[in-house]
Structure 1
Amino acid sequence: MTSGCSPSTRRASCRWRCGADSRTWGCWGIGVPEELGGSGGGAAEAFIVTSEIARRFPSLATDYVLIAMTAQTYVEHGTPEQQQLLAGLAGGDVICSFGISEPDGGTDALALRTRAREVDGEWRITGRKLWISMAHHADHILLLARTDEPDDPARRARGISLIQVPMDQPGITVNRVPLAGMRAAGTCEVVLDDAVAPLGNVLGERGRGFHGLRTSLAIERVLSAAISNGIGRQALDLAIAYAQEREAFGRPIGAFQAVQHRLVDAVAGVAAAQLLVERAVRAIDDGVEATAAATLAKAHAAEATAVAVDVGMRTMAAMGLAAESRMQMLFRDARLQLFSPVSNDMARNLSGEALGLGRSY
């Protein structure tokens, strides 16, 4: 692997990102039952934590979403032996990345080309994953790969398995992908060239890996919405404070109607989006099918935040664009939310289908 990080370096990095000691901080273990080494709790607690982290450091919040999504997958589908990883994940001693997206299969996740073959009693995996968070620090990557051809070409989800692959091996190359926003999240390309994994590293049922991610993907979308919520609230707090202090024509600019209207509309948009997210969170914690609610909430929260950071930038004007300003960071980070982890166009397609309007893709 070309990341150049030893396991001890990765663990130290994770502890630095989580806090002095993530075991005492406790947040990294939310969603992991206490008997498995976690902090307990569910989607509601994870939403609060994600939103509050995103107010200060959106890139760190994306790391937290990855950990929460991975933990949910192990809790729901891992064998007792596989679930032993959860204590390390909750404590910051183990980092597990998630490999779904590919160059030709982001929104269309079932277009993946990564293949896993049984060779000499182990998996041999070849393919390429793109837009993968924290892969350069990860001890393992939990990835989707095609292990079997579908018996019906129209059912592309069949034959796709979820496999835990150790990262520290010569068959894996990791390359950082610099982004304009979320710079500290560690977005990577992962190239697998006959990477190996034990046959027993399949999570859930072989050939039904994508089906098993339903709850994990719903949590990812809800917590993505939580990131948007945190960014939007922080941007508006900064903009309102600036509008109260900055004077023009003998009074604070917040006293001007044009500035007030933009800020009020943006506050209403972010607040309304939060209500949609909270509805999806309740559905997840109640064990109700939450995919449609989570998808709708993700899209609306991202759109509301895009408006909020734009209003914040316009309110602060040149000061908002200054490199020393937090507003320019929030403005850049918010752009990712419009197309990750699923594009808002695709989110609308899925939402329309959930309304019974027919598949549009």
Structure 2
Amino acid sequence: MAPTRTLLPDIFRTEECRALRDSMGALLDTKLDWETVRALDEADQFPDRAWAGLAELGVLGLGIPTELGGSGGTAREAVAACIEIARRYPSLAVDYVLCGMVGRMLGDHGTAEQQEAWLRPLAEGSAIHAYGISEPGGGTDALAARTRAVAVDGGWRVTGSKLWISMADRAEVIFTVARTSEPPSGRSRANGLSVLAVPTDQDGVSVRRVHLAGMRGAGTCEVVFDEAVAPAGSLVGQEGRGFHMLRETLNIERLLSAGISLGVGQGALEAAVLYAGEREAFGRPIGGFQAVQHGLVDVSVRLAGAMLLTERAVEDYESGVDVTDISGMAKLAAAEATAAVVDQGMRTLAAMGLARESSMQMFFRDARLQLFSPVSNEMVRNILGEAMGLPRSY
């Protein structure tokens, strides 16, 4: 059989990206071979050895200025890192993105003291922080936050709950979106939300692991704050402007989310093509039958299109162009293309796709998250429809 190819474009066009891909590939092939990933996934475990290896390579510091302990780097390199991680263990890619979002927030809005205390250890891999945004009563509607923070002597008292918070059970600090004041009459609910760094080693913070069908190793948790203490100096940025800080990160978050989807899709497509070339039925490889072959070609074309759209969005982002629309399009296209890839992959592997020793079942489960996270594809369609000049639909 000829070497396995997926017809996917090479979006690692720069020398820096290709060097990053090669170094990450060598590391992850050692730390995250399939048997290791399978054991981690079945046990809902975080890959400590792989995380430490990424820290040594400087991957955790991508997007963080070198003077703050990071590696600098470009958006293209960060997206490339997402793809390389997700094609092996998607759960780890989710954690990588969320820690990166905390890092970007601290790099842009943290004080020198906050950056030294929280950002540098994060970039070096010696500390893990979580981002407490979503709540039981509001996922896509982040402005519906009911968690409250009241100023007291020496800091803040935080009460409320968060849900779907990755790595909260491992985090030293949870950067929590809480309402510190009510918006003035007639003003947007975005006013009055703040971000507070809440240490987890206190009685007022309880964390419960939520065991998911997919992205098992991402460490998804529910967090309850019962008059938890956010000490003096824990407010990140301006009081009441927390949502505006979040909004600044939406474009890069969507590009990184697209990267996760593309990595999942690439891993699943590679596994499906390999299986189709090796599995025989009726005296020939099943990949020789048009019913199988055409399905794999079709999803490869869809994934390739999503990759090229994402690459264009990244190029625009790095050029300073407003990518509000195209980043949403890239996120949407990548998630939908990957959903098609994993479905075709399951059809190609048939019963073997359901076997737990097959990576396809993991890719199939993990791909579901990208359809509604970090924002649902339905909401992305709403936003893009409005951008086209259509009436607002939400």
TM-score, L = length of structure 1: 0.93
Match of 2:39 in 1: none
- Does structure 1 residue 57 correspond to structure 2 residue 89? yes
Shift of the 58–14 alpha-carbon distance from structure 1 to 2, 3 Å rule, reads closer
Match of 1:3 in 2: none
Code of the aligned partner of 1:86: L
- Does structure 1 residue 213 correspond to structure 2 residue 246? yes
Q: Distance in 2 between matches of 1:134 and 1:180?
A: 16
3-state SS, counterpart of residue 87 of structure 2:
helix
Q: Distance in 1 between matches of 2:216 and 2:184?
A: 42
- Cα displacement (A) at 1:249: 1.8
Q: Distance in 1 between matches of 2:204 and 2:103?
A: 25
Match of 2:138 among 94, 105, 108: 105
Contact 2:193 / 2:242 at 8 angstroms: preserved in 1? yes
Residue correspondence of structure 1 range 55-204 to structure 2 within 5 A: 55-84=87-116, 85-204=118-237
- Equivalenced residue count is 349
3-state SS, counterpart of residue 308 of structure 2:
helix
Q: Distance in 1 between matches of 2:321 and 2:247?
A: 12
- Cα displacement (A) at 1:22: 4.3
- Cα displacement (A) at 1:19: 4.2
Q: Distance in 2 between matches of 1:203 and 1:82?
A: 8
3-state SS, counterpart of residue 304 of structure 1:
helix
Residue correspondence of structure 1 range 293-332 to structure 2 within 5 A: 293-332=326-365
Q: Deviations for 1:117-166, whole angstroms, at most 9, x for unmatched residues?
A: 11224111101000000000001111111111101345110111111111
Q: Deviations for 1:261-304, whole angstroms, at most 9, x for unmatched residues?
A: 11111001111111222222223323333332222211111110
Match of 1:250 in 2: 283
Contact 2:46 / 2:217 at 8 angstroms: preserved in 1? no
Code of the aligned partner of 2:109: H
Unaligned runs of 5+ in 1: 1-12
Match of 2:78 among 21, 25, 46: 46
Contact 1:14 / 1:95 at 8 angstroms: preserved in 2? no
Q: Distance in 1 between matches of 2:390 and 2:318?
A: 27
Match of 1:344 in 2: 377
Q: Distance in 2 between matches of 1:195 and 1:94?
A: 21
Q: Distance in 2 between matches of 1:150 and 1:359?
A: 23
The percentage of counterpart residues that share the same residue type is 61
Q: Distance in 2 between matches of 1:19 and 1:146?
A: 33
Residue correspondence of structure 1 range 234-273 to structure 2 within 5 A: 234-273=267-306
Q: Distance in 2 between matches of 1:235 and 1:312?
A: 6
3-state SS, counterpart of residue 56 of structure 1:
coil
Off by >6 Å, runs of 4+ in structure 1? none
Contact 1:99 / 1:132 at 8 angstroms: preserved in 2? yes
Q: Deviations for 1:213-233, whole angstroms, at most 9, x for unmatched residues?
A: 223222222111111101101
Contact 1:214 / 1:291 at 8 angstroms: preserved in 2? no
Residue correspondence of structure 1 range 1-20 to structure 2 within 5 A: 16-20=48-52
Match of 2:38 in 1: none
Contact 1:100 / 1:144 at 8 angstroms: preserved in 2? yes
Q: Distance in 2 between matches of 1:165 and 1:41?
A: 29
Q: Distance in 2 between matches of 1:294 and 1:301?
A: 11
Match of 1:232 among 257, 265, 270: 265
Contact 1:17 / 1:60 at 8 angstroms: preserved in 2? no
Shift of the 21–268 alpha-carbon distance from structure 1 to 2, 3 Å rule, reads closer
Q: Distance in 2 between matches of 1:246 and 1:179?
A: 31
Q: Distance in 2 between matches of 1:247 and 1:23?
A: 42
Unaligned runs of 5+ in 2: 1-44
Match of 1:28 among 38, 60, 64: 60
3-state SS, counterpart of residue 222 of structure 2:
strand
Contact 1:277 / 1:297 at 8 angstroms: preserved in 2? yes
Shift of the 271–22 alpha-carbon distance from structure 1 to 2, 3 Å rule, reads closer
Q: Distance in 1 between matches of 2:51 and 2:240?
A: 38
Shift of the 20–133 alpha-carbon distance from structure 1 to 2, 3 Å rule, reads closer
Match of 1:354 in 2: 387
Q: Deviations for 1:9-28, whole angstroms, at most 9, x for unmatched residues?
A: xxxx9882544444422111
Match of 1:5 in 2: none
